[in-house]
Chains A and B, each alone.
Chain A
Amino acid sequence: MKLLTASLLALSLAPACVRAQDTAALNKLTDSWPTYNGDYSGRRYSPLTKINTATVKQLQPAWNFRVETTTGGGKRISATPLEVDGVLYFTVPSHVWAVDARTGRKLWQFDWASKGGETIGNRGAAVLGNTVYFETEDCNLVAIDRTTGKEKWHASIGNPDQFYFGSVAPVIVKNHVMVGISGDDFDNPGYIEAHDPETGALQWRWYDHPNPGDPEAKTWPNDEAMMHGGGMTWVAGTYDPELNLYYFGTGNAQPVINGLARLGDNLYTSTICALNPDTGKLVWYFQPNPHDTHDWDAVQTPVLIDGIIDGKHRKLVAQASRNGWYFLLDRATGKNLLSTPFAMQNWTLGVSKNGSPIPNPEKMAHTNGALVSPNQAGAANWYPPSYSPQTGLFYVPAYDAYSVYYIYDNNKKPEGWAGNDRGGWSEASLRAFDYRTGKVRWNHKWPSSGGRSGILTTAGNLLFTGDTTTNLVAFNAANGTILWHAGLGSIVSNGPITYELDGLQYLVAAAGDTLYAFVLR
C-alpha cells in the first residue's frame, strides 16, 4: 500500500516532469525508458551496469502482470512498455495500462470502445508531460490523462473502411505526436502524420508516394497505380535532434505479390525516409527494397549510430532489413555507405550504383511458384534490433529461410494480395555483426525454429532477448555466450527493457499476455 501511495504521489507530481520530452534524459536511460526504443536512437542500449556478466545469474523474479482484457483476441503484449517516474505504460489493441514499475500493481487501465479493426498487435504508447498517447485499431490517436487514466481527446488517423488500422507506438518529437499507420490488405497509400500534443489537431500528413509529375513518380507506370501503391508505416521511427530529422521505413508496395501492373521501383514504398518533423517534408530517401513483391517492407527500425568510418566521425543510420540485407547510410544525406546481406537471400541481381539491391525477376512470384529466400516472414521483421556502442555490434533476430511465392490473381489489374508464399524451411538465429562491415562476429543458432523477439543490450556487456520457444535469455554481448535464462509462459513477444529505481536494476519483458519483471537485489 505504501508503494502504491508512493506511486500515486509520483503520478500526481507527474505534470511537473517533462522527462519524455527532455533530450538530456533521453540520452541517459537510467531511471526511465521514456519512448518505444528507450531513447530516440533506436539502439535499445542501456547504460546501466548493475546487472552485468558477473551478476546476471542472481536475477530474481520481481513481479508478473497478466492482461485479462482483450479486444478481438489481441491479448499478446507486443508493446515495449514505457517507464516514466516509476510507472510502466503499455498496450494491447484498444487497451492501455499504467502499472507500478516496482511492484507490478495496476494503477489504472484504459479501455477503448473499438468499432473494429485488425488486432494483430499494438506496439506501445508515448508519454509527454501528463499525457499518454496510443493508437487504436479503429484508427484513432487517443490521449489519456496520466494521473487518472481518463481520455482527454481522440483524433482520427485514418479511415478503417479502407482497411487502415492503428498499431504503431507514437513518438513525441518536440511539439509533434508522430503517428504511423498500418494495413496492407488493401491498395491504399501509406502515410505518416503529426498531431498537436495538446489538442490532437492534425499538423500535417505526408503520403509516402511522390506527387504526380515528380521525377520519382516515374518509378510507377501511372498515377493510378502510384496513388494505390501501399507503403504502410508500421514501426515507430527514430530522431536526430541536431539534424532535426525523423527516420522511418515504409512498408511493401501494393498489390502485394503480383507487381506486374506496377513495374518500376515504386517509390517511396519499402524505403527509408528522413523527414523534417516540423514541416512533414521529405529531406532524403534510400530504398532498401525496390519493387517489393514479397511483402518484405523496409520498416525495420532505422538505428542511429555515431560511428567512425575511415577514421572519420560519422552520423550514421543502419537497418537490418526484412529482405536479408543490411544497409549503412550517412544520416545527414542518405548516402549509402554499405549494402550487404546479413542472412540467406537469393533474390537479387546485384546492387545498383546508389546502393539498392536489384531484384531478380526470376525470384518474383509466379503462378507455378518461385523458390525465394528469405520467406515472407523475412530475415528480420518488426522485432526491435539493438546496437551496442560498447561492442560495436549490431544485433538482429535473423532468419535464414526459403518459401515458394505464387501469384494467385493473374488479372491484368491485380488488387490486394493477388498471391502469397507457402510452406517453407527456416533456421532461426541471434546474429551479431560489425556495424561498419556487416561481418558476422558471432551467431547463436537456436536449436529449433519458432518465434522471434526484440533485443536489449546494456553497458553490463549483456544482451537480453527471447529464444524461439519460451525462454528469456541473457547473452554475453561481446561473444555470444549464454549466461542466464528464465522460462516464461510463452514466447517473448516484445523487446525487453531495463531501468533502475531506488538503486535496484529491473528487467522487464512480455511473453504473451504477461509482463515479467526481474530484479537484482
Chain B
Amino acid sequence: MLASQYKGCAAAGTRYASFCKLLNNPSALELDEVKWLLLRSLQVTALLPLISVPLLAQFPHSPVDPDRRDRGAAIYAGKCASCHGDDARGTANGPDLIRSLPVLHDRREMLYGKELGPLLTTLPGHSYKFNDKQLGDLSQFLTASINGILRSGGNSQPTGLLNGDAQAGEAYFNGAGGCTKCHSVTGDLAGIGKKYSASALQQKFLFPNSGLFLKKKVQVTVKLRSGKTYTGDVVHIDDFTVMLREKSGETLSFNRVPGITVTTDNPYTAHEELLRKYTNADMHNMTTYLDSLK
C-alpha cells in the first residue's frame, strides 16, 4: 500500500529508518525505536515549547511529609519565628535559617534535626529541648522552606493577571491587535474565559503554537519532481527529511532531495508578529479582557 510514496523514506541504518518501519512494518520496531519515535513526535508536537524551560529539574528535593512539615511549622511559629521571621528568612534579631549551614546540611543529609538538636540547646539564647519527633518535624518545616525557593520550588503561580484594563484590551482586540481578522468573541472565542485559567489564557493567546492539543499545526506541502503534491500536518521537519500527516491520517515521510520542494504554512504567524508589538500593558489588558468572556 502506497509503497511508491515511501521511496523518499530515510535510508536504513539511520534513525529515520524507524519512521519507515513504523509505516511499513510496525511489529518490527525495537523497543528503543518505539521510544524514540514517541519522543520524536512528542518533541515536535508537544514538548517543543518546553525547550525554553530548563530541561532538567534542579537539585533533587529532600522529600517532605506534609503532616510533619505542618507540625514543624507550628513549633517554629511558637518558638522560632519571633527572632528568625515568619518565613525563616531572618530578622534584625536572628539570622536567616534558609541560608544557615547547619540547616542546609540537615536538609541535604536528611538528618531530621539530629545535629540541630544540640545547637538548639547550646547556641546563645537557645535552650529548646525538643524530642526526636519534634526535631524531625522542625527539620521537615525548614527543609520545605528551603525547597520552596529553588527553581523547581512549589510556588510558581503568577498573580494579579487580571489587573489590566478590560476595555483597553477590547479596543486592542478589535483594533491594533487585528484579532478580529481570524477570531470572534461570539464565535470561536465565546466563553473563552470559562475555558482557561487566567494564566493559561495569557500563555494561549501569546504562544498559541505551544503546549498540548493544538487546534491546528504547521502545514507542509511536499511537491515531488513528478508534480504530485502531498499536504498535511508537520510531524517532523529538518533540512533533510520531512514527515507529514495527511487529513486521511496517513503519515508520509520524504527525503528532501533535489527536485522536491517543501513549503510550510504557519497558521500562527499573526500571533508571532504581535510578540514584537505588544507592550506589557497590551498583554495585561488583553488577558483581562479575554478572561471576561465568560
Q: Contact residues of A with B, CB < 8 Å?
A: 72-73, 116-118, 120, 159-163, 165, 183-187, 228, 255-256, 346, 362, 366-371, 373, 375-377, 401-404, 406, 408-411, 413, 415-418, 420-426, 446-451, 467-471, 473, 482, 485, 487-489
Q: Which of A120, A187, A404 contacts B203 (CB 8 A)?
A: A404
Determine the distance from Cα of A482 to Cα of B48 in the docked complex, in whole angstroms.
Answer: 24
Whether the Cβ atoms of B239 and A411 lie closer than 8 Å is no
B: contact size bracket: 35 or more
Provide a sorted-by-A list of 20 A–B residue pairs whose CB atoms are within 8 angstroms: A160-B108, A368-B164, A373-B275, A376-B52, A376-B53, A402-B207, A403-B52, A404-B203, A404-B206, A408-B157, A413-B96, A422-B158, A423-B207, A424-B210, A425-B272, A446-B238, A447-B242, A451-B51, A467-B238, A482-B239
* Contact A161 to B280, CB < 8 A, known contacts A376-B52, A376-B54, A424-B49: no
Whether the Cβ atoms of A411 and B87 lie closer than 8 Å is yes
Determine the distance from Cα of A448 to Cα of B51 in the docked complex, in whole angstroms.
Answer: 12
Nearest chain A residue, comparing its CB with the CB of B264: A447
B104 is an interface residue with CB less than 8 A from chain A: yes
Q: Which of B16, B51, B158 contacts A408 (CB 8 A)?
A: B158
Determine the distance from Cα of A426 to Cα of B47 in the docked complex, in whole angstroms.
Answer: 13
Report chain A residues within 8 Å CB of B202: 369, 404
* Contact A423 to B239, CB < 8 A, known contacts A366-B280, A448-B48: no
Report chain B residues within 8 Å CB of A184: 151
Determine the distance from Cα of A421 to Cα of B99 in the docked complex, in whole angstroms.
Answer: 25
Give a binary string over B142-169; 1 marks a CB under 8 Å from any A CB, 0 the rest: 0000001111010111111101100000
Stretch at the interface among B55-63, B125-133, B182-190: B55-63
Nearest chain B residue, comparing its CB with the CB of A117: B59
Whether the Cβ atoms of A487 and B203 lie closer than 8 Å is no
B43 is an interface residue with CB less than 8 A from chain A: yes
Whether the Cβ atoms of A449 and B58 lie closer than 8 Å is no
B13–chain A nearest beta-carbon distance, Å: 9
Task: Scan residues 266-287 of chain B and give those whose CB is less than 8 A from a CB of chain A.
Answer: 272, 275-276, 278-280, 283-284, 287
Number of A-B pairs whose CB atoms are under 8 Å? Answer: 178
Determine the distance from Cα of A165 to Cα of B161 in the docked complex, in whole angstroms.
Answer: 36
Whether the Cβ atoms of A468 and B203 lie closer than 8 Å is no
B80 is an interface residue with CB less than 8 A from chain A: no
Determine the distance from Cα of A421 to Cα of B159 in the docked complex, in whole angstroms.
Answer: 14
* Contact A415 to B239, CB < 8 A, known contacts A161-B108, A403-B52, A489-B15: no
Whether the Cβ atoms of B280 and A487 lie closer than 8 Å is no
Whether the Cβ atoms of A186 and B239 lie closer than 8 Å is no
Determine the distance from Cα of A255 to Cα of B87 in the docked complex, in whole angstroms.
Answer: 16
Whether the Cβ atoms of A423 and B211 lie closer than 8 Å is yes
Report chain B residues within 8 Å CB of A163: 58-59, 150
Determine the distance from Cα of A103 to Cα of B81 in the docked complex, in whole angstroms.
Answer: 63
Whether the Cβ atoms of B49 and A423 lie closer than 8 Å is yes
* Contact A424 to B207, CB < 8 A, known contacts A449-B51, A487-B16, A489-B15: yes
Whether the Cβ atoms of A485 and B58 lie closer than 8 Å is no
